Homo-oligomer: A and B are copies of this chain.
C-alpha cells in the first residue's frame, strides 16, 4: 500500500496524451529527427534545417526530450538509440511512413466518437474500415511496410525452422504490403507465394516483391478473403493481423475456407495480438482491443481460449500459441 497523497498527475498526463501524438507527428513531418542526425543539434541549427522558427524548434525538441525521444546536454539535442533506428529518415528501419496510417483522419474520428462505440459495442457498420477497397488499406500497405520488416523476418524464420529450403507454396491472405509472404520467398529460395487482397492494395505488394527480387515467385489473387477462390494445396496460409477485425462466426467461416485450401499437414499461421486470459497483459496486445472496438463492428483482441475453438471448429487438429520475440505480438499456428 502506498501512503503518498492522492495525485491528479496521471489524469493530467492522460487527458493531455493527445499532445504527445501531435508532437511526435509534427517532429516526423518537419524531419526534426533526421536533421538532428545530420548534426543540426541546437534549436538555432534546427530552425534553419527544418525551416521553422527557433522558438518552435526549441519548444518541440525540449518536449521530445522530456517524453524520451531525444536527450539534451546543454543546448544540444541527440537521438536516443531507438529514435536513431526508427525515426531518422536515413535509417533502413525508418518507420515515419507509418504515421499517416496510424493517425489517419478516419482513425482519429473513430476515437473522437469512442463513447458511441462503447454504447453500441463496436463501430457503426456503415463506416467501418472493412468495406471493400477502403482506401485506408492502401495507406496501411504503403505506410506500415517499414514496421513489418522485422516481424516478417522473425515469423518466416519461425515457420521455416523445421525445413528451411523445402519446396513450399505459401498463401498470404490480406497481404497488404506483402512483406510477410515476401519474407518466406526471400528466406526460402524454393518457396512460391500467392498474395491475396483488394486489387488496389496488391499493387503495393507487387512493388515490394519486385524490390525484394522475388517477383518471379510472387503472384496475386485479387478479391475478398471471404469470397475469392484461392485454389488449394498450400503448405502455409498466412493470416497476419487479420482475424482481429472479425467476430467469432466470421473467423470460423474464414478458417474453414483456409483449412480447405491447405494440403494435409499444412499450417495456418496467424500473427495476432493475443492477450492472456486476464485481458490486461501483455499490455500491447491487450490494449489493441480498444482499436478494434473503435474501428470495427465486432473485432477484438481474442485470447487463445477464444481462438482455439475457432480453429478447431474449422477442422484444425493441433492449435498452438506463443510469443513472437522480439515483437510485441503472438503467433497462433494451427496444423491440418
Contacts and interface: CB of A to CB of B under 8 A. Distances in A.
Contacts of A81: 2, 6
A284 interface: yes
A117 B67 contact: no
Contact of A16 (B21, B60, B121): B21
A24 B53 contact: no
Contact of A280 (B10, B17, B66, B108): B66
A39 interface: no
Which of A5, A16, A103, A283 has the largest count of B CB atoms less than 10 A from its CB?
A16
Given A15-B103, A147-B8, A118 B24 contact: no
A121 B55 contact: yes
A30 to B, nearest CB: 6
B62 A115 contact: no
A68 interface: yes
A65 B86 CA distance: 29
A331 B24 CA distance: 30
Nearest to A47: B121
Nearest to A24: B14
A18 B22 CA distance: 8
Contact of A19 (B25, B283, B291): B291
A279 B82 contact: no
A18 B15 contact: no
A171 B212 CA distance: 71
Contacts of A15: 21, 24-25, 98-99, 102-103
A19 to B, nearest CB: 6
A62 B6 CA distance: 22
Contacts of A112: 22
Nearest to A282: B66
A300 to B, nearest CB: 8
Given A11-B24, A19-B294, A59-B293, 4 more contacts: A26-B118, A52-B121, A55-B122, A62-B279
Interface of A: 2, 5-12, 14-26, 29-30, 50-60, 62-63, 65-69, 72, 81-82, 84-87, 93, 95, 98-99, 102-103, 108, 111-112, 114-115, 117-122, 147, 278-280, 283-284, 286-287, 289-294, 298, 300, 326, 328
20 contacts: A6-B86, A8-B86, A8-B95, A15-B25, A16-B21, A17-B18, A18-B22, A22-B112, A22-B114, A25-B115, A30-B119, A50-B118, A52-B121, A55-B121, A56-B119, A59-B300, A62-B286, A66-B280, A66-B283, A72-B280
